[in-house]
Amino acid sequence: MSRDVTLEHVTIRFGSHTAVDDAHLTIRSGEFFSFLGPSGCGKTTLLRCVSGFLEPTEGRVLIGGEDMRGVGPNRRPTALIFQNLALFPLMSVAENIAFALEVRGVGRQARRKRAVELLELIALPHVGDKKVYELSGGQRQRVAIARALAAEPQILLLDEPLSALDLKLRQHMRSELRAIQRRVGLTFIYITHDQGEALTMSDRVAVMSEGRIEQVDEPLAVYDHPKTSFVASFVGETNVLPATVTGRDGTDVTLQTDGGLIVQGFAVGRRQYRAGERCQVFVRPEQIKVAPPEPGPNRLAARVLAEEFEGNLRHVSLAVGGSVGGSGGAPAVGALAVGGQPLRMSVVNDGSLPPLQPDAALTVTFDPSVASVLPEGPLARA
Ligand SMILES: Nc1ncnc2c1ncn2[C@@H]1O[C@H](COP(=O)(O)OP(=O)(O)OP(=O)(O)O)[C@@H](O)[C@H]1O
């Protein structure tokens, strides 16, 4: 039976405040789907609406095609996992896992058998008789998932379940969670403000801002082809160049940045720009390269401001003075030309680029096909 979750024009208001604004999408059965957005964008509100703790002000939630209006949380095929796990400290791990079955009146032997199966599933086969306090944070998180699965939900709703764990454990738990989801084949709906979590685990991601869903796509598409200025600036590092359109040829757009650079990019969504229109150009730091000697588009005269070393990567801040072959040469020491911000370039630390000294002059470039041109819009706050 299909367990698609459909949000049909769901709007949720608290008084005059719109927490979720016209969410309209379908989460497919068996999908690992994440809602990603900054604090306060409406993620938890939306999840509470799917779980039945909250009714939409407008629109409908359908699960498996069935309208969930008036269907309470305990009658929906969902289970919710929070950041604060609330495992029972005095019970053993196995008793914790089997708790939902005990409530339903399942006998001791059947409960024990199911707990053993679920402990296998979460790759902790030998901890059934331990107390919760004897487990690490990551182990407890997995036990919480096993406990939720014992109730045999079709859809697991996860509300920032990893945010209380330290960084290393969080990263480890990403692959654990993904592996568990693949093993059980259930729909996972995951909410997070952590883009790394959303991008690594999900089949698809919905990026939210101020109650609105800005983009729903596979992780790579969200990163490589952001559809709005908010998504481009929220997901991953990027350079933002405020600019004015000077010309267009199909999806190729020529622009003058506010710092006076002439650059070329591509029109996201094949938008037809007019000359004089205000827009923003987004280029990832890893797409900025030291230019080869051959002529080409987007050759910018730059001067090194600083270099930061981060193990596998080097992050270089650049002042950019002018387009090589166009106006200006290397910028004056200390100059800035990209929307008042240095241009950021990230290079892999593989020895191919010698260390860069502050004030060194160089020419950098980026391919027009990786420079996303979007209409001027609100950016994510840094
Ligand atoms: N019961 C409520 N009454 C009034 N306002 C609420 C209520 N619940 C949430 N809000 C408001 O709705 C907005 C969205 O809140 P929500 O908790 O869904 O955000 P979130 O994206 O999950 O944030 P966080 O990541 O911080 O949990 C916020 O402005 C919040 O203050």
Mean pLDDT of 80-95: 81
Domains in the chain: boundaries: 5-230, 231-375
For residue 170 and ligand 1, the question of a CB distance below 6 A is answered with: no
Flag whether pLDDT at 164 surpasses 80.
no
Q: Could you tell me the pLDDT band of residue 327, with boundaries at 50, 70 and 90? A: very low
For residue 19 and ligand 1, the question of a CB distance below 6 A is answered with: yes
Degrees to nearest 5, angle at CA 89 with 87 and 93:
70
DSSP state of 275: T
Output the pLDDT for position 99: 85
- The set of residues, in sequence order, having a beta carbon less than 8 Å from that of 28 and lying 6+ positions away, is 4, 187
Distance (angstroms) between ligand 1 centre and the Cα of 45 equals 6
Flag whether pLDDT at 3 surpasses 90.
no
Flag whether pLDDT at 328 surpasses 90.
no
* Ligand 1 atom closest to the CA of 208, numbered from 1: 21
Distance (angstroms) between ligand 1 centre and the Cα of 162 equals 19
Flag whether pLDDT at 326 surpasses 60.
no
For residue 41 and ligand 1, the question of a CB distance below 6 A is answered with: yes
Output the pLDDT for position 333: 42
Strand extents, DSSP E, 5-110: 5-14, 17-27, 32-36, 58-63, 66-67, 78-81
Distance (angstroms) between ligand 1 centre and the Cα of 63 equals 23
Flag whether pLDDT at 271 surpasses 60.
yes
Nearest to 94 by CA among 25, 158, 44, 143: 143
Among 39, 41, 45, name the best residue to mutate to test ligand 1's pocket (greatest count of ligand atoms within 8 A of Cβ).
Answer: 45
For residue 42 and ligand 1, the question of a CB distance below 6 A is answered with: yes
Among 11, 44, 194, name the best residue to mutate to test ligand 1's pocket (greatest count of ligand atoms within 8 A of Cβ).
Answer: 44
Output the pLDDT for position 120: 86
Degrees to nearest 5, angle at CA 109 with 182 and 123:
30
pLDDT per residue as tens digits for the range 247-267 = 999 999 999 988 888 899 999
Is the pTM value of this prediction over 0.90? no
Output the pLDDT for position 217: 98
Output the pLDDT for position 331: 53
For all residues of the chain together, what is the average pLDDT? 89
pLDDT per residue as tens digits for the range 173-184 = 888 889 889 988
| The length of the chain, given as a count of residues | 382
- Of all protein residues, the one whose alpha carbon is nearest to atom 7 of ligand 1 is 14
- Of all protein residues, the one whose alpha carbon is nearest to atom 3 of ligand 1 is 14
Flag whether pLDDT at 353 surpasses 60.
yes
For residue 44 and ligand 1, the question of a CB distance below 6 A is answered with: yes
Output the pLDDT for position 243: 93
Distance (angstroms) between ligand 1 centre and the Cα of 17 equals 10
Q: What is the ipTM of this complex?
A: 0.95
Q: Map residue 226 onto helix, strand or coil.
A: coil
The answer to whether residues 285 and 239 touch, using CB atoms and an 8 Å cutoff, is: yes
The answer to whether residues 160 and 85 touch, using CB atoms and an 8 Å cutoff, is: no
Tell me the CATH number of domain 5-230, given options 3.40.50.1820, 3.40.50.1370, 1.10.760.10, 3.40.50.300.
Answer: 3.40.50.300
Nearest to 283 by CA among 226, 355, 324, 215: 226
Mean pLDDT of 50-76: 95
DSSP sequence for 316-359? EEEEEEEETTSS--SPPTT---BTTBPEEEEEE-SSSSPPPPTT
Q: Could you tell me the pLDDT band of residue 84, with boundaries at 50, 70 and 90? A: low
The answer to whether residues 281 and 379 touch, using CB atoms and an 8 Å cutoff, is: no
The answer to whether residues 150 and 99 touch, using CB atoms and an 8 Å cutoff, is: yes
- Of all protein residues, the one whose alpha carbon is nearest to atom 12 of ligand 1 is 19
For residue 39 and ligand 1, the question of a CB distance below 6 A is answered with: yes
> When comparing pLDDT for 46 and 100, which is higher?
46
Above pLDDT 70, what percent of the chain? 93
Q: Provide the greatest CA pair distance for the chain.
A: 81
For residue 193 and ligand 1, the question of a CB distance below 6 A is answered with: yes
- Of all protein residues, the one whose alpha carbon is nearest to atom 4 of ligand 1 is 14
pLDDT per residue as tens digits for the range 21-61 = 999 999 999 999 999 999 999 999 999 999 999 999 999 99
- Of all protein residues, the one whose alpha carbon is nearest to atom 8 of ligand 1 is 45
Output the pLDDT for position 85: 63
